Amino acid sequence: MTAPSTARVNGIDISYSVAGSGPLVVMVMGTGSPGRVWKANQEPALVKAGYTVVTFDNRGIAPSSECAEGFSLDDMVADTAALIEYLDRGPAIVVGTSLGARITQELALARPDVVKAAVLIATYGRNTPLQEAISAGERALYDNKIKLPPEYEAAITAHLNLSPHTLDDDRSARDWLDIIGFSPQAITPGVRAQLELHHKESDRLSAYRNITRPTLVVGFADDRTLPPKLAREVAEAIPGAEYVQIERAGHFGYLEQPAEVNRVLVDFCGRFRD
């Protein structure tokens, strides 16, 4: 494993890390989260399986350029493509979750030359009224300088992102509340710029019929933030895409059920080693 490096690509700085050796896997994180989240479970599993794994901080997440003045989803797609080109090891298997999955599927559509295969975790191709309402609320909290009490913020985060099976166990629920409380998600100007993307997104399902890269879509059965029906819609739109649903998992399913997520990832990536 190497220390984080910085690449000047697409007119901005992207902080990235490289681990392992073998075929290239590039991992794209979701709204407000740094790339190091992948290091807890998915990066070690893929490195052990014989892959070079690159994680990075999307624009909006320091120490990458925050670009607080605003940016588009197309900008984030272009960042990912430029990073793969900068690494000069592509095409890559690209794995994304939530907003990172949206970036990944748009990348597979716009730049299939840099994508060997795509894994879309907890993804979506259109906004729902509930998504729009939650996103509007998050933006309003920041814009009005409202800070939720830490205990309440941890509880809401757990409720939206974890499975009821996790939260029904009092000890498990307390452990997760402690974890979330110790590492709360800070809404910085760059994260606020990411949140604005959810306000501007459109229905892209029909466009995804033109994706040609091999694709695996992973849904989480208990995902309240992006219900699995949304992931199924994406899988149904992409020709030949596979869909796998992981049980007893919420939006943070890659943290709640890491062994199963890792098994699915390693199995799929193994088809594209050559």
Q: Give the percent of the chain with pLDDT over 70.
A: 99
Q: Given pLDDT bands bounded at 50, 70 and 90, which one contains residue 3?
A: confident
* 198 part of the active site: no
Q: Tell me the average pLDDT of the chain.
A: 95
Q: Name residues whose C-beta falls within 8 Å of residue 200's C-beta, 6 or more positions apart in sequence.
A: 72, 73
* 5 part of the active site: no
Q: Given pLDDT bands bounded at 50, 70 and 90, which one contains residue 114?
A: very high
From the candidates 57, 79, 222, 223, give the one annotated as an active-site residue. Answer: 223
From the candidates 15, 75, 135, 251, give the one annotated as an active-site residue. Answer: 251
Task: Tell me the sheet residues that pair with 120.
Answer: 96, 217
**What pLDDT, on a 0 to 100 scale, did the predictor assign at position 2?**
65
Locate the domains of the chain by residue range.
5-272
Tokens representing 33? 């989260």
Look-up of token digits 């059920």: 257
Tokens representing 193? 């710029």
How far apart, in whole angstroms, are the C-alpha atoms of residue 131 and residue 119?
A: 22
Tokens representing 76? 């984030």
pLDDT beyond 60 at 261: yes
Domain covering 5-272, topology: Rossmann fold (3.40.50)
- Nearest alpha-carbon partner for 72 in 85, 58, 62: 58
Q: Name residues whose C-beta falls within 8 Å of residue 274's C-beta, 6 or more positions apart in sequence.
A: none
Q: Name residues whose C-beta falls within 8 Å of residue 178's C-beta, 6 or more positions apart in sequence.
A: none
Cβ atoms within 10 Å of 213's Cβ, excluding its own: 24
- Nearest alpha-carbon partner for 264 in 245, 251, 238, 236: 245
How far apart, in whole angstroms, are the C-alpha atoms of residue 92 and residue 259?
A: 23
* 159 part of the active site: no
From the candidates 65, 98, 135, 163, give the one annotated as an active-site residue. Answer: 98
- pTM > 0.75: yes
pLDDT beyond 60 at 1: no
